[in-house]
Protein backbone atom coordinates (compact mmCIF):
# COMPACT_ATOMS: atom_id res chain seq x y z
CA UNK A 1 0.00 0.00 0.00
CA UNK A 2 2.93 2.30 0.65
CA UNK A 3 4.15 1.99 -2.99
CA UNK A 4 0.68 2.88 -4.31
CA UNK A 5 0.72 6.07 -2.26
CA UNK A 6 4.19 7.00 -3.56
CA UNK A 7 3.09 6.34 -7.17
CA UNK A 8 -0.01 8.51 -6.69
CA UNK A 9 2.10 11.37 -5.29
CA UNK A 10 4.53 11.12 -8.23
CA UNK A 11 1.71 11.15 -10.77
CA UNK A 12 0.12 14.18 -9.13
CA UNK A 13 3.45 16.02 -9.02
CA UNK A 14 4.13 15.51 -12.71
CA UNK A 15 0.50 16.13 -13.79
CA UNK A 16 0.38 19.48 -12.05
CA UNK A 17 3.60 20.75 -13.62
CA UNK A 18 3.27 23.37 -16.37
CA UNK A 19 6.82 22.75 -17.52
CA UNK A 20 7.51 20.06 -20.12
CA UNK A 21 10.45 18.93 -22.20
CA UNK A 22 10.43 18.17 -25.88
CA UNK A 23 12.79 17.97 -28.82
CA UNK A 24 12.83 20.62 -31.55
CA UNK A 25 15.08 21.38 -34.50
CA UNK A 26 17.32 24.41 -34.06
CA UNK A 27 19.24 25.17 -37.27
CA UNK A 28 18.78 21.55 -38.33
CA UNK A 29 20.10 20.09 -35.07
CA UNK A 30 17.84 18.25 -32.62
CA UNK A 31 17.83 19.98 -29.22
CA UNK A 32 15.99 19.17 -26.01
CA UNK A 33 14.11 22.24 -24.84
CA UNK A 34 12.06 23.05 -21.79
CA UNK A 35 8.60 24.50 -22.35
CA UNK A 36 6.53 26.46 -19.87
CA UNK A 37 3.01 27.55 -20.79
CA UNK A 38 3.76 26.95 -24.46
CA UNK A 39 6.95 29.06 -24.49
CA UNK A 40 10.52 27.80 -24.82
CA UNK A 41 12.28 28.69 -21.57
CA UNK A 42 15.60 26.93 -22.14
CA UNK A 43 17.53 25.12 -24.84
CA UNK A 44 19.22 22.34 -22.92
CA UNK A 45 21.33 19.95 -24.97
CA UNK A 46 21.96 18.35 -28.34
CA UNK A 47 20.25 15.08 -29.12
CA UNK A 48 22.82 13.24 -31.26
CA UNK A 49 21.33 10.53 -33.46
CA UNK A 50 17.78 11.87 -32.99
CA UNK A 51 17.45 12.64 -36.71
CA UNK A 52 19.41 9.56 -37.88
CA UNK A 53 18.31 8.61 -41.38
CA UNK A 54 16.85 12.04 -42.21
CA UNK A 55 18.13 13.49 -45.48
CA UNK A 56 17.85 17.25 -45.86
CA UNK A 57 16.13 18.20 -49.16
CA UNK A 58 18.27 19.98 -51.76
CA UNK A 59 15.77 22.83 -52.05
CA UNK A 60 15.44 23.43 -48.29
CA UNK A 61 13.87 26.89 -47.86
CA UNK A 62 14.94 27.37 -44.24
CA UNK A 63 17.89 29.59 -43.40
CA UNK A 64 20.07 29.24 -40.34
CA UNK A 65 19.46 31.79 -37.57
CA UNK A 66 20.80 32.38 -34.10
CA UNK A 67 18.32 30.96 -31.60
CA UNK A 68 16.91 33.43 -29.10
CA UNK A 69 14.65 32.79 -26.20
CA UNK A 70 13.03 36.22 -26.03
CA UNK A 71 10.98 37.78 -28.80
CA UNK A 72 12.31 40.98 -30.22
CA UNK A 73 9.69 43.64 -29.52
CA UNK A 74 11.65 46.22 -31.54
CA UNK A 75 11.57 44.08 -34.68
CA UNK A 76 7.87 43.38 -34.32
CA UNK A 77 7.06 47.06 -33.78
CA UNK A 78 9.15 48.16 -36.78
CA UNK A 79 7.25 46.02 -39.28
CA UNK A 80 3.81 46.99 -40.46
CA UNK A 81 1.47 44.48 -42.09
CA UNK A 82 0.96 45.15 -45.78
CA UNK A 83 -1.61 43.90 -48.24
CA UNK A 84 -0.09 41.66 -50.86
CA UNK A 85 -1.95 41.07 -54.08
CA UNK A 86 -2.31 37.33 -54.66
CA UNK A 87 -1.07 36.48 -58.15
CA UNK A 88 0.13 33.33 -59.83
CA UNK A 89 3.90 32.91 -59.83
CA UNK A 90 5.54 34.31 -62.96
CA UNK A 91 8.28 32.06 -64.30
CA UNK A 92 11.47 33.39 -65.87
CA UNK A 93 10.42 31.93 -69.23
CA UNK A 94 7.10 33.75 -69.49
CA UNK A 95 5.62 35.69 -72.37
CA UNK A 96 4.09 38.92 -71.09
CA UNK A 97 0.95 40.60 -72.40
CA UNK A 98 -0.57 43.99 -71.78
CA UNK A 99 -3.34 43.79 -69.20
CA UNK A 100 -6.63 42.94 -70.92
CA UNK A 101 -5.00 42.27 -74.33
CA UNK A 102 -4.05 39.22 -76.40
CA UNK A 103 -1.98 41.25 -78.87
CA UNK A 104 1.64 40.10 -79.08
CA UNK A 105 4.21 42.81 -78.37
CA UNK A 106 7.47 43.01 -80.34
CA UNK A 107 9.34 41.55 -77.34
CA UNK A 108 6.89 38.65 -77.11
CA UNK A 109 7.16 37.97 -80.86
CA UNK A 110 10.97 37.87 -80.62
CA UNK A 111 10.82 35.56 -77.59
CA UNK A 112 8.42 33.20 -79.40
CA UNK A 113 10.76 33.13 -82.42
CA UNK A 114 13.62 32.12 -80.09
CA UNK A 115 11.46 29.40 -78.52
CA UNK A 116 10.61 28.16 -82.04
CA UNK A 117 14.31 27.93 -82.93
CA UNK A 118 14.98 26.00 -79.72
CA UNK A 119 12.08 23.65 -80.46
CA UNK A 120 13.35 22.99 -83.99
CA UNK A 121 16.86 22.26 -82.67
CA UNK A 122 15.45 19.76 -80.14
CA UNK A 123 12.85 17.85 -82.19
CA UNK A 124 12.08 15.28 -79.47
CA UNK A 125 10.79 17.91 -77.04
CA UNK A 126 7.30 19.31 -76.72
CA UNK A 127 6.36 22.88 -75.81
CA UNK A 128 3.82 23.45 -73.07
CA UNK A 129 2.10 26.85 -72.96
CA UNK A 130 0.36 27.49 -69.64
CA UNK A 131 -1.71 30.47 -68.55
CA UNK A 132 -4.08 31.48 -65.74
CA UNK A 133 -7.51 33.06 -65.79
CA UNK A 134 -9.63 34.44 -62.96
CA UNK A 135 -11.91 31.68 -61.71
CA UNK A 136 -15.58 32.36 -62.48
CA UNK A 137 -14.81 35.16 -64.99
CA UNK A 138 -15.68 34.02 -68.53
CA UNK A 139 -14.12 37.10 -70.16
CA UNK A 140 -10.83 36.34 -68.34
CA UNK A 141 -11.07 32.74 -69.53
CA UNK A 142 -11.68 33.87 -73.15
CA UNK A 143 -8.75 36.30 -72.99
CA UNK A 144 -6.48 33.53 -71.68
CA UNK A 145 -7.54 31.20 -74.51
CA UNK A 146 -6.88 33.96 -77.08
CA UNK A 147 -3.39 34.52 -75.64
CA UNK A 148 -2.60 30.81 -75.79
CA UNK A 149 -3.88 30.61 -79.38
CA UNK A 150 -1.81 33.64 -80.44
CA UNK A 151 1.36 32.08 -79.01
CA UNK A 152 0.63 28.69 -80.55
CA UNK A 153 -0.11 30.17 -84.00
CA UNK A 154 3.13 32.15 -84.02
CA UNK A 155 5.12 29.05 -83.00
CA UNK A 156 3.49 27.15 -85.89
CA UNK A 157 4.24 30.00 -88.33
CA UNK A 158 7.89 29.75 -87.23
CA UNK A 159 8.10 26.06 -88.11
CA UNK A 160 7.10 24.21 -84.93
CA UNK A 161 4.81 21.24 -85.58
CA UNK A 162 1.36 21.72 -84.12
CA UNK A 163 1.47 18.22 -82.57
CA UNK A 164 4.44 19.31 -80.41
CA UNK A 165 2.62 22.29 -78.84
CA UNK A 166 0.34 21.74 -75.87
CA UNK A 167 -1.74 24.46 -74.24
CA UNK A 168 -3.20 24.40 -70.76
CA UNK A 169 -4.94 26.96 -68.60
CA UNK A 170 -6.05 26.97 -64.98
CA UNK A 171 -8.36 28.99 -62.80
CA UNK A 172 -6.77 31.20 -60.17
CA UNK A 173 -7.83 33.93 -57.74
CA UNK A 174 -6.18 36.48 -60.07
CA UNK A 175 -5.60 36.39 -63.83
CA UNK A 176 -2.05 36.29 -65.14
CA UNK A 177 -0.88 38.70 -67.85
CA UNK A 178 1.56 36.15 -69.24
CA UNK A 179 1.93 32.69 -70.74
CA UNK A 180 4.52 30.31 -69.27
CA UNK A 181 6.65 28.33 -71.74
CA UNK A 182 8.08 24.96 -70.74
CA UNK A 183 10.01 22.42 -72.80
CA UNK A 184 9.52 18.77 -71.95
Highest mean pLDDT among 47-51, 57-61, 100-104: 100-104
Contacts of residue 28, Cβ cutoff 8 Å, sequence gap at least 6: 56, 62, 64
Rounded Cα distance between 70 and 79, Å, is 17
Residue 135 · residue 172 · CB < 8 Å: yes
For the segment 27-34, the average pLDDT, to the nearest whole number, is 76
Which tens digits make up the pLDDT trace of 94-110? 788 878 888 888 888 88
pLDDT category of residue 73 using cuts at 50, 70 and 90: low
Structure confidence at residue 91 (pLDDT): 53
Percent of the chain at pLDDT > 90 equals 11
Which tens digits make up the pLDDT trace of 121-136? 987 888 899 988 888 8
pTM of the model: 0.51
What rounded mean pLDDT belongs to the chain? 75
Tell me the angle at which helices 106-121 and 138-157 cross, rounded to the nearest 10 degrees: 60
Closest to 109 (Cα-Cα) out of 123, 97, 92, 124: 97
> Is residue 54 exposed (0-12), middle (13-18) or buried (19+ Cβ within 10 Å)?
exposed
For the segment 57-65, the average pLDDT, to the nearest whole number, is 62
Task: Give 50 or 183, the one with higher predicted confidence.
Answer: 183
Contacts of residue 174, Cβ cutoff 8 Å, sequence gap at least 6: 85, 86, 87, 88, 132, 134
Going along the chain from its start, the domains and CATH numbers come out as 2-64 (no CATH), 94-183 (3.30.1330.60)
Give the full edge-to-edge strand order of the sheet including 19-26. Answer: 19-26, 29-36, 39-46
Segment (H or E) for 140? helix 138-157
Task: Give 57 or 178, the one with higher predicted confidence.
Answer: 178
Residue 31 · residue 50 · CB < 8 Å: no
Amino acid sequence: MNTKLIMLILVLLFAGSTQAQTVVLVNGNAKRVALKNGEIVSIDKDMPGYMAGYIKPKNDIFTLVNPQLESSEELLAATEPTEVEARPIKLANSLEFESGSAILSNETIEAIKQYAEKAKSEPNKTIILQAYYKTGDTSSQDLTLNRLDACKQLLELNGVQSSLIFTTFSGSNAPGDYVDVTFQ
